[in-house]
Amino acid sequence: MTEGRISKRIALFALPIFIGQLFQQMYNITDSIVVGKVLGTKSLAAVSSSGSLIFLIVGFIYGVFVGAGVVIGRYYGAQKYDMVHRAVHTTVAFGLAAGLFLMVFGIIFTPHILRLMRTPADVLPESTRYFRFYFAGSIGNVMYNAFNGIFQARGDSRHPLYYLMIASITNIALDLLFVRDLGFGIAGAAIATAISQFLSAGISLYKLTHVDDVHRITLKDIRFDRPLLKEVLATGLPTGVQNSVIGLANVVVQSNINVFGADAMAGCGAYSKIEGFAFLPVTSFSVSLTTFTSQNLGAKKYDRVKKGAAFGLASGVILAEIIGVIFILLAPILIGIFDKSPNVVAFGVKQARTEALFYCLLSFSHCMAGIIRGSGKTTVPMLVMLICWCIIRVTYITITTRFIPDISVIFWAYPLTWSLSSIAFAVYFFKADWMHNFERQEQKLLNRN
């Protein structure tokens, strides 16, 4: 990431992430498609309510992995390979501890959380069953993301793609086997996902224990290095808190959607699965920009960071908007893949045609956050998204729906808060002159020497 043509480096790093996320999204929607077609609308509603709850619980842990990736990438760019080794093994140790905690927490507290979300009584039993099986295998998901962060911090986005492709194909095959052929019901979809996640984590671990490079994992060295753990947490906690708070806000949003019944839950859930495709360029360029920024700041190549930021922002925004326009045009067909019930399709299409045109703002915010996060300033994205995507979004929905009990009020919360976060990031990026702070610090060190 610190050498060569900037656009080529970012694009080649982002492309495998894009393809990998495409496969992941494909196996995410497979659960919903198979469940919707085989088990019906209520089962689809049960699976569809999963996204916000899962993101609430696992978002914090994933945020810490983002911090770990920034720390590893910075030390790699600075060629401090002993620190890379220590940071890698601390990341793995944290992943194991976090995965075990998540598994126990999810199994115990799932019913209580679903009731707080005002999940309809006719959907609650299947939702509980799905979540409990999902969290029973969540340690596989956590460890894959830990390993994925290590690969990407090193600048390797190809191997995670290969392993995700294998997991995606496995999940699709197991979904069809467990739900359609063996009649395991909604639990079969969760079991298929868990097995696939363990598979991708296992292959990733095998590769990292055999790679001949500084990020190789040695099993006997997996332990918490206290100074490195503090550094990882200091960098990752703001992102973790941000993810959890956004997840909490999304749970509140989902709770308001649940009030409109199973058809609304199924339609909006189908929309969220399709919307995941709009996140593909957002995620790929955001992650690429975080790695690119951290490595080049570690190598003290500040002008290269600025040029990379401009290219990544433009690419992510344009691609996201193209996908948004396509989604608007094809919304009835795409929502109908999950459930052809007219009411379900109507809810999904209404949400798509309210939000999809504004995907450019969503991408802009995430790419900006990726750049700033890569510099180690993770508090700034946390505060912007906490205020815009949580406090303002929840306040708007809570107040407005009391006076206008229309589901469109909920849908408009997203474009409005994406607009606010984009404005906040633009002001910080262009006015705060944050990049020059690194240059001035480096110049001071040179003057002292």
435 pLDDT tier (thresholds 50, 70, 90):
low
What token pair was written down for 160? Answer: 């995670």
Q: What is the pLDDT of residue 446?
A: 43
Q: Is pLDDT at 422 greater than 90 in this prediction?
A: yes
pLDDT tens column, 294-351: 778 777 787 788 888 888 888 888 988 998 999 899 989 988 887 788 888 999 999 9
419 pLDDT tier (thresholds 50, 70, 90):
very high
- Neighbouring residues of 352: CB distance < 8 A, sequence distance ≥ 6: 271, 274, 275, 327, 328, 331, 334, 335
**Average pLDDT of the residues of the chain:** 81
pTM over 0.75: no
What token pair was written down for 377? Answer: 């300033």
432 pLDDT tier (thresholds 50, 70, 90):
low
Burial 3-30 (b: 16+ CB within 10 A, else e): eeebeebbbbbbebbbbbbbbbbbbbbb
User: Pseudo-torsion of CA 365, 366, 367, 373, nearest 10°?
Assistant: 110
- In angstroms, the CA 374 to CA 294 distance is 5
Q: What is the pLDDT of residue 199?
A: 92
- In angstroms, the CA 106 to CA 54 distance is 9
Pairwise pLDDT comparison (47 vs 404), residue with the higher score: 404
Q: Is pLDDT at 439 greater than 60 in this prediction?
A: no
Q: What is the pLDDT of residue 103?
A: 87
pLDDT tens column, 385-399: 889 988 899 899 989
130: left (phi over 0), alpha (psi -120 to 50) or beta: alpha
Q: What is the pLDDT of residue 50?
A: 57
Q: What is the mean pLDDT of residues 376-380?
A: 78
Q: What is the pLDDT of residue 433?
A: 57
| Domains of the chain, residue spans | 6-439
pLDDT tens column, 91-139: 899 889 988 988 888 888 888 877 876 777 777 787 788 888 888 888 8
Of 154-168, 208-222, 347-361, highest mean pLDDT: 347-361
Q: What is the mean pLDDT of residues 51-58?
A: 64
